[in-house]
Amino acid sequence: MLPRPPGLSCLLATLALAGELAGCSADGDTAADGAPPAQPAGCALQISAGAAHTCAIKADRTLWCWGSASAGQIGIAEPDGKFPVPRQVDQLGAEVLLVRAGLRHTCAIKADHTLWCWGSNSYGQLGLDPDEVGATPVPTEVPGIGPGVVDVAPGADHTCAVKDDGSVWCWGNNAYGQLAAKPPASLVSPNPRHIDLSGASAVAIDAGEIHTCALAADSAVWCWGDNAFGQLGHDDPEGWVPRPVAGLGSAAAHVTAGVRHTCALSKGGILLCWGDSSWGQLGPGVAAGASSTPVEVGDLPAPVLRADAGGGHSCAVEGSGAVLCWGYNNVAQLGVPPPPLIVPAPAAVAPLPPVAELSAGGGHTCALAAGRPWCWGANGDGQLGDGTVAAYPAAFRGPTSALLCDDQ
């Protein structure tokens, strides 16, 4: 392994044990002043919700995916395929440490810290020449980045990764500066491009639709890419230049990027969000519109232990393990049937056992609770994993347990 900057020991240790990233800060502390509720042993270790598909790692380190197979993102290539029951991505064996689901592609880190991606490759987001491979359901090791990958973030048409030396690399579509190159330079590049954070070492990364943010070892957050809604944390239209989010200082423990908004969790368990708030996804403190300045999400019981930004909504886990969501609710992604379509104040999702991990997708949300995956919201492609395919409102039953565990 290469030398690690401060904080990566925590990230690598948790990857090896349970796939829990949000509990690590840049200096190895938990994400909030307190520990998440104790969880019973269960069948699932980690879950990730994409635009219309979901993937989870089981306790035996095998990877299972379900939902849309439109571009092979769940390991099956069927343009109109909808798979409501989890299926194993067996090419990866029983050695998956981390999975991240994007718009129409998925990436996983294996036990040897190599990076594997599959699904859409229309802009080279798998690290392959798009003129030769438009999409593939077969996990393929990303060339040019080598071993040592500790985190990965698939966006809409680009992918970024952090290596164990703290370096950041991105590839795919650069139409909006997602690769930190001035558009239209290198408009499409399947070759991993090093992202210069002015000497800062990264420990974690997350990608929105066409922007990316990284958590640095000094607890600063750096963002680049599209900035039409202030999702980079400043007002400069030249978003292709990575820069730290000024309103956060060096107090962040976790960063999460939604489609057009971004949130960061402080070491003290305070959640701040910025960017698009057209649907109330920044919380009750921001009127419909946008904010390039991080704003504390009001009405959230402190401390917040986990948080994730989705398509037009956001969700958080508070100290007792309860989940609260806010923002766009057109397909019940907040856990309650609309109306209203917009819910700016955090509202509890019930009933759920205490939640250990959370993932907000395009129009659905998933969590790990009592060792099981639970999902709610959009299900037109079977992304809830409960054996049904039904567009809202026929699908709404509240949080439903995905059919992943052997006793189901």
Token pair recorded at residue 383: 């992304």
Residue 356 half-sphere exposure toward CB, CA atoms < 13 A? 20
Q: Which residue has the tokens 């996804």?
A: 281
Cβ partners under 8 Å of residue 20, min gap 6: 14, 46, 356, 357
Q: What is the pLDDT of residue 73?
A: 98
Residues, the chain: 408
Q: What's the CA gap between 66 and 176, in Å, rounded?
A: 30
Q: What is the pLDDT of residue 38?
A: 52
Q: In this structure, what are the phi and psi dihedrals at residue 19, rounded to the nearest 5 degrees? A: 70, 15
For residue 104, give the nearest of 73, 127, 80 by alpha carbon. 73
Q: What is the pLDDT of residue 41?
A: 59
Taken in order 394, 400, 402, 403, the sign of the CA dihedral is negative
Taken in order 393, 276, 119, 325, the sign of the CA dihedral is negative
Is 407 exposed, middle or buried, given 0-12, 13-18 or 19+ CB atoms closer than 10 A? exposed
Q: What is the pLDDT of residue 280?
A: 96
Cβ partners under 8 Å of residue 27, min gap 6: 6, 7, 217, 219
Is 184 exposed, middle or buried, given 0-12, 13-18 or 19+ CB atoms closer than 10 A? exposed
Rounded to two decimals, the pTM is 0.91
Q: What's the CA gap between 159 and 278, in Å, rounded?
A: 26
Q: Which residue has the tokens 């209203």?
A: 340
Q: What is the pLDDT of residue 68?
A: 97
Q: What is the pLDDT of residue 335?
A: 93
User: 8-303: which CATH architecture?
Assistant: 7 Propeller (2.130)
Q: Chunked in runs of 10, what are the mean pLDDT values of the chain (408 residues)? A: 34 32 34 49 90 97 97 90 95 97 98 98 97 97 96 98 98 96 83 97 98 98 97 94 92 97 96 97 89 95 95 96 96 91 94 93 96 94 94 68 84
Q: Write the single-letter amino acid at 241.
A: V
Contact status, residue 230 vs residue 237, Cβ threshold 8 Å? no
Q: How many C-beta atoms lie closer than 10 Å to residue 131's C-beta?
A: 10
Q: What is the pLDDT of residue 337?
A: 87
Strand ranges (DSSP E) for 278-319?
Answer: 290-296, 304-309, 313-318
Beta bridge partners of 193: 170
